[in-house]
Amino acid sequence: MTASGERSETDVASLLLAWYDRHARALPWRAPPGEPPPAPYRVWLSEVMLQQTTVAAVKPYFAEFTRRWPTVEALADAPEEEVMAAWAGLGYYSRARNLVKCARAVAERGGFPDTEAGLRALPGIGDYTAAAIAAIAFGRRAVVVDANVERVVARLFAVEEALPGARKAIRAATGAIAPAARAGDFAQAMMDLGAGVCTAREPRCPLCPLAALCAGRRTGDPARFPRKAPKKAKPARTGTAWWIERDGHVWLVRRPGRGMLGGMRALPDDGWSARASGDGTPPVAGAWRPAGAVRHGFTHFDLELQVMVLEGGAPPPGEGEWWPLDALDAAGLPTLFAKAARRARAG
């Protein structure tokens, strides 16, 4: 600490990096502490996948993507429908569409730009992802604030303002302690500290390298930071998915490129959306039978989807394809429709 009792960049960085050198997580998209940085492609791919998704969920997807498309040029050449199918289950499917657009833009320009401004100009890359790539892949000093870093800094400085309003102050505080040297290691150390020590519900303060500097700990209740405004209740929507089966095949459609689950294969549905429930109108006449319901939470609403089954029926008007039931896993259905398919087959 400084003579005035304030935290300095040197204090925080030196303590945190020493801790990181001993305790860094071994992750497939990282380089060990102090080693040359990983390829920008791997950093970018992992950061896009990790948005609102856990490390455990991302690991197998990252392994499969880098096996199939080991370079950004290979991903740029991939058909979008193949990438979307490989992404199925990770959610937030606009990320996958932007992944292809960004890969093609990077391949066209001959590589990733090495500055935040250049990275932000690419499709699907916002402030956080640009800062993370700049720091981790290129060693640029950058202010990298994900949910874990947000929590660490809010506690370190005992930020009293509630989220989301506090984000400006948290970002400024993070910028004040981010070092120029080992910028990538520092960013990843902050992430690791939040993921494994400064956890949301029960911070493990005795294990924290920054405990002596932490204003939140000195309040006696560090877990109350960051403060959060009361959550608004999410609206509830209802809809229907239509399972049409014939000769060991099921009728699948391709959802429109824009909108919910855009571009993904899916079961036909009744037009539900984030703004309105579906109308329940079957796409074709027939002896439909109910198979139960599935529930799924989206960012802005919750959905209860009834599943209706028609055996031996004709396909509805419009484009679609008969997909073999014994290869349904290869269709790349998003999680919602994978749940509906399981319900139809069980019911």
Distances in whole angstroms, Cα of residue 204 to Cα of each of 123, 146, 189, 194, 201: 38, 19, 16, 10, 10
In this structure, are 180 and 213 located in the same domain? yes
pLDDT at 310 over 60: yes
Give a yes or no: residue 107 inside a domain. yes
Mean pLDDT of 321-341: 94
C-alpha 246/C-alpha 309 separation (Å) is 11
pLDDT at 10 over 80: no
In this structure, are 217 and 69 located in the same domain? yes
Give a yes or no: residue 40 inside a domain. yes
Identify the residue whose tokens are 């609102």.
52
Domain boundary among 170, 196, 224: 224
Q: Residue 347 — pLDDT band, cuts 50, 70, 90?
A: confident
In this structure, are 82 and 204 located in the same domain? yes
Give a yes or no: residue 201 inside a domain. yes
Mean pLDDT of 122-134: 97
C-alpha 151/C-alpha 145 separation (Å) is 9
Tokens of 257: 């490129």
In this structure, are 149 and 265 located in the same domain? no
In this structure, are 246 and 176 located in the same domain? no
* Mean of all residue pLDDT scores within the chain: 94
Say what the pLDDT of residue 2 is: 40
pLDDT at 5 over 60: no
Domain membership of residue 126 as a residue range? 9-224
Give a yes or no: residue 254 inside a domain. yes
Catalytic residue among 47, 82, 202, 321: 47
Comparing 102-106, 113-117, 229-233, 321-325, which segment has the lowest mean pLDDT?
A: 229-233
Q: At what angle do helices 167-177 and 9-23 cross, to 10 degrees?
A: 80
pLDDT at 301 over 50: yes
In this structure, are 141 and 279 located in the same domain? no
pLDDT at 23 over 60: yes
Mean pLDDT of 42-56: 96
Which amino acid, 303? L
The DSSP result for 39-74, as a single string, is: PHHHHHHHHHHHTTS-HHHHHHHHHHHHHH--SHHH
Comparing 143-157, 193-207, 253-267, 317-331, which segment has the lowest mean pLDDT?
A: 253-267
Tokens of 343: 């319900």
Comparing 2-11, 314-323, 335-344, which segment has the lowest mean pLDDT?
A: 2-11
Say what the pLDDT of residue 7 is: 54
Is residue 47 annotated as part of the catalytic site, yes or no?
A: yes
User: In the chain, which residue ranges form alpha helices assigned H by DSSP?
Assistant: 9-23, 40-50, 55-68, 72-77, 80-87, 94-109, 116-120, 127-138, 147-156, 167-177, 183-196, 215-218, 335-346
Domain boundary among 224, 258, 286: 224
In this structure, are 331 and 211 located in the same domain? no
What is the share, in percent, of the chain residues with pLDDT greater than 90? 86
Give a yes or no: residue 272 inside a domain. yes
Mean pLDDT of 137-150: 97
CATH of the domain at 332: 3.90.79.10
Say what the pLDDT of residue 55 is: 96
What percent of the residues of the chain are helix, what percent strand, and what percent coil, each to the nearest 5? Answer: 45, 15, 45
Q: Residue 140 — pLDDT band, cuts 50, 70, 90?
A: very high
Tokens of 146: 């994900």
CATH of the domain at 55: 1.10.340.30
Which amino acid, 218? R
Q: What is the pLDDT of residues 102-118, one digit of tens each?
A: 999 999 999 999 999 99
Give a yes or no: residue 62 inside a domain. yes
Q: Residue 253 — pLDDT band, cuts 50, 70, 90?
A: very high
pLDDT at 91 over 50: yes
Give a yes or no: residue 122 inside a domain. yes
> Nearest CA to 334 among 58, 95, 84?
84
The dihedral built from the CA positions of residue 325, 326, 329 and 330, taken in this order, carries a sign that is negative
In this structure, are 243 and 207 located in the same domain? no
In this structure, are 197 and 316 located in the same domain? no
Q: What is the pLDDT of residues 161-209, one digit of tens each?
A: 999 999 999 999 999 999 999 999 999 999 999 999 999 999 999 999 9
> Nearest CA to 152 among 195, 183, 185?
195
In this structure, are 213 and 151 located in the same domain? yes
Say what the pLDDT of residue 99 is: 96
Mean pLDDT of 3-17: 71
Identify the residue whose tokens are 């139809």.
344
Asked if 140 contacts 128 with a C-beta cutoff of 8 angstroms, the reply is no
Give a yes or no: residue 2 inside a domain. no
Does 211 or 262 have the greater pLDDT score?
211
Domain boundary among 203, 224, 245: 224
In this structure, are 277 and 170 located in the same domain? no
In this structure, are 65 and 140 located in the same domain? yes
Say what the pLDDT of residue 56 is: 96
How many domains are there within the chain?
A: 2
